[in-house]
Homo-oligomer: A and B are copies of this chain.
Amino acid sequence: MLETLKKEVLEANQQLVTHHLVTFTWGNVSGYDPKENLMVIKPSGVPYEDLQMKDMVVVDLEGKLVDGTLNPSSDTPTHLELYKAFPEVRGIVHTHSEWGTAWAQAGRSIPCVGTTHADYFYGEIPCTRRLTPSEVNNGYEKETGTVIIEAFHHKNPLKVPGVVVHGHAPFAWGRSPADAIHNSVVFEKVAKMTFLSELLQGEQPHRLDHHILNKHYERKHGKNAYYGQSN
């Protein structure tokens, strides 16, 4: 079942290695089928180089196993919360990539200081609040989804396709597993370049002027976008 989506999820997980986003098995990609209300996700703890189509795990929105023989990623409940709250999202990536994780460990949102950021993320990439002891002890992974959703109370998750989870690491997403991987690569690059530019500045780092943020985001994603080929 869901052979096309399984293939997309498998390939997206393999791309984590290609783009140097993971160490050992520290990352996972899922994809969502909105017609069947089912999610395909990487099995927990399996090395990327060993992954095969038959290892992909299918679960429903309550996390019940629908297809597959392996345990799904332990982060499964976080992915499910996001698909339920963000109906246009079709792919989610979680990694402990170095620069994104540095921002998470610092408990900081990534400010928008350049056009590379503005080309993909319409404004700062928010950092969640900390989880309470009770949230950690009762459904930790589900509550990780809750604090992410809180951070997007006034944001469009497709215009800011990623988040910094406080003390943990990044999540990114998109309109497909491949799109989510693309946004993960951008996230990591932006996390690095913003780190570097902040070290070059003094007390009062610049923010990108709003008119440029707007221009760059719109020329790539707006109604009259003119980046790339029309086909």
Contacts and interface: CB of A to CB of B under 8 A. Distances in A.
A167 to B, nearest CB: 5
A125 to B, nearest CB: 14
Contacts of A195: 196, 199-200
B229 A98 contact: no
Given A136-B212, A140-B215, A200-B108, A114 B23 contact: no
A217 interface: no
Contacts of A96: 115-116, 193
A130 B193 contact: no
Contacts of A200: 102-103, 106, 108, 195, 198
B44 A227 contact: yes
A131 B212 contact: yes
Interface in A169-203: 169, 182, 185-186, 189, 192-201
Contacts of A107: 201, 206
A208 interface: yes
A167 B201 CA distance: 13
A45 B228 contact: yes
Nearest to A210: B133
B71 A229 contact: yes
Contact of A74 (B106, B116, B133, B219): B219
A167 B101 contact: no
A46 interface: yes
Contact of A116 (B26, B205, B212): B26
Contacts of A126: none
B102 A196 contact: yes
A146 to B, nearest CB: 15
Contacts of A24: 182, 185-186
Interface of A: 23-24, 26, 43-46, 70-71, 74, 96, 98-99, 101-108, 113-116, 130-131, 133, 136-137, 140, 167-169, 182, 185-186, 189, 192-201, 205-206, 208-209, 211-212, 215, 219, 226-230
Given A23-B189, A140-B215, 11 more contacts: A26-B116, A98-B196, A102-B196, A104-B197, A106-B201, A107-B201, A114-B169, A115-B168, A131-B212, A136-B209, A167-B212
